[in-house]
Amino acid sequence: MVSKEEKPKLIRDDGLRHDGRRPDELRPIKMQVGVLKNANGSALVEYGKTRVLAAVYGPREPQPKHISLPYRAILRCRYHMAPFSTHERKSPAPTRREIELSKVIREALEPIVISEMFPRASIDIYIEVLNADGGTRTTSITAASLALADAGIPVRDLVTGVAVGKVDGVIVLDIDEVEDMYGEADMPVAAAPSLGKITLLQLNGVLTPGEFEEALDLAMRGIQEIYKIQREVLKTKYLKVKVEE
């Protein structure tokens, strides 16, 4: 881990980033669905070294019952970082940041879940960050969306997330931990691409109006690339099921 006193050169003399990527290049992305047999739906998603597992249970009767709504299902989300996911061992107790990100992720997913089909029910999403190297909230949103689809929950679209940032004055796609730590700005974005709907947009740091437009355009292009992988992973699973039948 690089100390604060040893700030790395984030953009090299050849124009590439510290890890050799172009400014508009994603980290290697891997996805699997149906990885947990005891969950209704599950997904394992990796953005580079960031690794996230998501599990979905439901629709089912909520506990306690009084939280149920008569006209739609409630969506509950728990985001948690495993104690071994960071450089220094993290306490297993939920932190303020985890509680906040649980809410952020739930709000990014709610617009696409057709919850009115399941009144007085709950749909529960559990997210476990197995390894953290930047972009955990956006990786989690992508994984949770896949897990919802894997569970057969009716959705209007998949939600896909990616974080863009500004490092050494350059707008870059899919920032890692080093770029998040030493960059001038980071902007997590999530969207439902086929609906043309942005479900999450946050900005930490400062961007000019022109930089903001450039960053958002870059994020949407990255989201389209990741969205294709999501769709392919789901398609491959269900083609396999069909062949086995």
**Distances from the Cα of 141 to the Cα of 21, 145, 153, 171, angstroms:** 23, 6, 15, 22
Reported as type and span, the H/E element at residue 175 is none
Residue 69 pLDDT grade (very low, low, confident, very high; cuts 50, 70, 90):
confident
In this prediction, residues 212-232 reach a mean pLDDT of 98
Q: Let me know the angle formed at the C-alpha of 167 by 164 and 168, rounded to the nearest 5 degrees.
A: 155
Residue 1 pLDDT grade (very low, low, confident, very high; cuts 50, 70, 90):
very low
- For residues 166 and 10, the answer to whether their CB atoms sit within 8 Å is no
- Of 90, 218, 212, 230, nearest to 162 (Cα)? 218
Say which residue, 204 or 241, is predicted with more confidence.
204
Residue 88 pLDDT grade (very low, low, confident, very high; cuts 50, 70, 90):
low
Q: What is the mean pLDDT of the chain?
A: 92
Tokens read off for 8: 């790395």
Residue 2 pLDDT grade (very low, low, confident, very high; cuts 50, 70, 90):
very low
**b/e burial code for range 170-188 (CB count within 10 A of at least 16 → b):** ebbbbbbbbbbbbbbbbbb
pLDDT at 73: 92
In this prediction, residues 77-93 reach a mean pLDDT of 79
pTM assigned to the model: 0.91
- pLDDT tens digits, 168-191: 999 999 999 999 999 999 999 999
In this prediction, residues 123-140 reach a mean pLDDT of 96
pLDDT at 65: 81
**Distances from the Cα of 36 to the Cα of 33, 62, 105, angstroms:** 8, 21, 21
Say which residue, 211 or 3, is predicted with more confidence.
211
**Distances from the Cα of 231 to the Cα of 146, 158, 160, angstroms:** 9, 8, 11
Reported as type and span, the H/E element at residue 104 is helix 96-109
Tokens read off for 5: 């006193």
pLDDT of 136 over the 60 cut:
yes
Task: Delineate the domains of the chain, giving CATH numbers in brackets.
Answer: 29-244 (3.30.230.70)
pLDDT at 146: 98
Residue 240 pLDDT grade (very low, low, confident, very high; cuts 50, 70, 90):
low
